[in-house]
Amino acid sequence: MHILFYGQQAYAQKDSITYNSTCSNYKIQFNSSIFSTMEFPDKVSWNFGDPSSGYYNNASIQQPFHAFSSPGIYTISLTVISGSDSATLTDSITIVNPLAFNFGPDIYLCNGADTILHGPVIAGANYQWNDDSLTTTDFLPVSKTGIYTVKINGCAVSDSIGIYYSDTPKIKLGDDHILCAGEILTLNAASQNAIYTWKLNGTVLPDSLGQLAVVAPGGQYIAEVNVPGCGFYSDTVNITFSSLPAPPFSLGPDTLLCPKEIYTLTANAAGANAYNWSTGATTSSIKVSQQGIYWAFVKINNQCEVVDTVEVDYRDDKALNFHDTAICKGSTLVLSADFGTGVYNWVSDPPQRDDQNQTGQSTYYVYEPGLYKVIAAIGQCIYKDSIRVSFNDSLLLDIGRDTLLCIGEEFVLHVKTNANSFAWQDGNTATDYTITQPGTYSVIAQNGCGIDTANVKIDFQHCECELRLPGAFTPNGDGLNETFRPLHPCDIKNFNLKIFNRFGQLVFESEDLSRGWDGYFRGTKADMGTYVWIATYANSKNDQRNAKKGTVVLVR
């Protein structure tokens, strides 16, 4: 029973105390719906009915954590004071020990197959699975890759199980080739969650990865691929070597192009008389208009072939996005046009100080009203924009509108202001503020024009479409957890996943939910360690755009 007291009167009331678990020895987070009506209380006082916890039995923040060391029924109370209004809520929570349960080994399936998970059967129990189906029974139909567990009466069981769906392999080692002496070729049979066996002329090789380097004298290569849940697949190719030395041959270095740029790849080699490109072209050169990995086999004097591969990528199709603005007298506006290493030419009308106009830097400091233009030359890419800056006696401050997010989604509030100084409600002075919990967030800003405050309310709800990715993967060839990709691909569109190493290099990008990162970067094993990922996607049902970021640990 939830009771709310105002002064000396008590009322049955819809406001309640909420919590995210009922497990013992678990940091349970508490909250209350009363904070939606009493948004800025002067005092908050929690009592968890757990005197054995000593000092930790009380809390004075809106969303505290508390761990109960032993099972039992505890009475929780919450008192909120805001001005002359006060309210007290009480509730009880039944703490239990996590139920020991074993789901069994992880399950591997081919895409399109279904399976059913069974939890412990307990009469009258309330079941809550950790997927997005809202299933409340002791069994769960599964058709998506994920790590699954179940809460029983609010407390998760002691085990979880991985369900991994793999695409049906498409093993194609390519055509037979006679290579020139000294040439290098790598065969690729990489498939999702696969176990590999390579054979040369019938003899099993020690290699167990998805790729194999061909060495002279070559012969008949067989790739046997075992994908758990899908079965066995294989392909055969004959690669031999000629005694004719390979002439120098290169398609050029990996290339970063401007948006919409068309690039020519040319396969020049002494004695070349036939060409076979990855695109199917048989000419000496091809036109490239999209990113990808391109290769070409070139026949030399009708005797043997040389081969090379090049990766073509495109710069993001972003543009400068200056907007005319006004700043207060005495303030400074910093303009940024940073696209990386390049040449930046700024022009101001009327001219500013010479040191400003001649810096050649990607940033520009505005001290006076006027029209400001920039031309940024990054390699062959040219970016242009302009902004008109005026001065007035007002203070501008904006942190966005009230927003409703999906549970588990990360959101960033951004301060837009011409203030000289500002701070968030907790004293943070960063321009971007990451939101992971519901609440009202505020910024107070000040400049020569005065002081202003902006508030925004952020709420969370259960969404039909949540994208989740694992925190680690192990591409070590044992067939378990080999690929990093979304665990819960739902009904989404416009998906994009980018992974960066600690140097900021893009090591992997995919727009296909079923294609994950196999731990390779430019054909070689990526270093073990932590990588940053950024995922963007849209809900197919309502077109709502979402963005998530996080880290993943690569372990071999």
Nearest to 156 by CA among 18, 17, 16, 26: 26
Residue 167: per-residue pLDDT: 87
6: pLDDT strictly greater than 50: no
Q: Distance of CA 120 to CAs 108, 131, 256, 394, Å?
A: 22, 17, 55, 64
Q: What is the mean pLDDT of the chain?
A: 86
Say whether both 159 and 88 belong to one domain: no
Say whether both 89 and 40 belong to one domain: yes
Confidence band of 83 (pLDDT split at 50, 70, 90): confident
Residue with more model confidence, 355 or 385: 385
Residue 2: per-residue pLDDT: 43
Percent of the chain beyond pLDDT 90? 46
CA distance 155 to 381: 56
Q: Among the three residues 392, 416, 439, which one is the final residue of a domain in this structure?
A: 392
> Which whole number is the average pLDDT over 392-406?
78
Task: State residue 52 phi and psi, 5-degree precision.
Answer: -65, -15
Q: The whole model's pTM is what?
A: 0.48
Q: Would 320 be classed as within a structural domain?
A: no
Say whether both 262 and 226 belong to one domain: no
Say whether both 294 and 346 belong to one domain: no
Question: At 454, which amino acid appears?
Answer: A
Say whether both 520 and 541 belong to one domain: yes
> Which whole number is the average pLDDT over 121-131?
90
Residue 309: per-residue pLDDT: 94
Question: At 330, which amino acid appears?
Answer: G
pLDDT digits (tens, 9 = 90+) for 336-382: 887 777 788 888 888 876 665 555 788 888 888 889 998 888 777 88
Say whether both 13 and 76 belong to one domain: yes
* Pair of tokens at residue 106: 């992880």
DSSP 97: P
Q: Would 467 be classed as within a structural domain?
A: no
CA distance 202 to 220: 8
* Pair of tokens at residue 499: 């992974």
397: pLDDT strictly greater than 90: no
Q: Would 181 be classed as within a structural domain?
A: yes
3-state SS assignment for residue 513: coil
94: pLDDT strictly greater than 70: yes
Q: Would 100 be classed as within a structural domain?
A: no
1: pLDDT strictly greater than 60: no
Residue 3: per-residue pLDDT: 43
Q: For position 493, which CATH number holds?
A: 2.60.40
CA distance 37 to 284: 72
CA distance 295 to 293: 7
pLDDT digits (tens, 9 = 90+) for 158-192: 899 999 888 888 899 999 999 999 999 999 999 88
Q: Would 171 be classed as within a structural domain?
A: no
Say whether both 7 and 89 belong to one domain: yes
Residue 355: per-residue pLDDT: 62
Nearest to 501 by CA among 551, 458, 463: 551
Q: Would 486 be classed as within a structural domain?
A: yes
Phi-psi region of 357 (alpha: psi -120 to 50; beta: other; left: phi over 0): alpha
Q: Would 427 be classed as within a structural domain?
A: yes
pLDDT digits (tens, 9 = 90+) for 139-150: 999 988 889 999
Q: For position 350, which CATH number holds?
A: 2.60.40.10
Residue 11: per-residue pLDDT: 35
Say whether both 352 and 381 belong to one domain: yes
Q: Among the three residues 67, 95, 123, which one is the final residue of a domain in this structure?
A: 95
For residue 342, count other CB atoms closer than 10 A to its CB.
16
Confidence band of 116 (pLDDT split at 50, 70, 90): very high
Q: Among the three residues 206, 227, 245, which one is the final residue of a domain in this structure?
A: 245
List the domain range (segments joined by +) for residue 186.
177-245
Query: Long-range contacts made by residues 236-240, C-beta under 8 angstroms, separation at least 24?
Result: 236/173, 237/173, 237/174, 237/175, 237/176, 237/177, 237/187, 238/176, 238/177, 239/176, 239/177, 239/179, 239/185, 239/187, 239/214, 240/177, 240/178, 240/179
Query: Is the CB of residue 15 less than 8 Å from the CB of residue 94?
Result: no
pLDDT digits (tens, 9 = 90+) for 442-479: 999 876 567 889 999 988 776 666 677 888 888 888 77
Say whether both 90 and 14 belong to one domain: yes
pLDDT digits (tens, 9 = 90+) for 48-79: 999 999 999 999 999 999 999 999 999 999 99
Identify the burial level of 143 via C-beta atoms within 10 angstroms of its C-beta, where 0-12 means exposed, 13-18 middle and 19 or more buried. Answer: middle
Q: What share of the chain is helix, strand, coil (3-state, %, to 5)?
A: 5, 50, 45
Residue 132: per-residue pLDDT: 77
Say whether both 505 and 435 belong to one domain: no
> Which whole number is the average pLDDT over 106-117?
89
Q: What's the full length of the chain, in residues? A: 556
Q: Would 250 be classed as within a structural domain?
A: no
The 10 Å CB-count burial string (b at 16+, else e) for 363-393 is ebebeeebebebbbebeebebebebebeeee
Query: Is the CB of residue 63 less than 8 Å from the CB of residue 43?
Result: no
Percent of the chain beyond pLDDT 70? 91
520: pLDDT strictly greater than 50: yes
* Pair of tokens at residue 463: 């969404």
Q: Which range, 8-17, 466-475, 481-490, is most confident?
A: 466-475
300: pLDDT strictly greater than 50: yes
CA distance 510 to 497: 5
Number of domains in the chain: 7
Say whether both 9 and 90 belong to one domain: yes
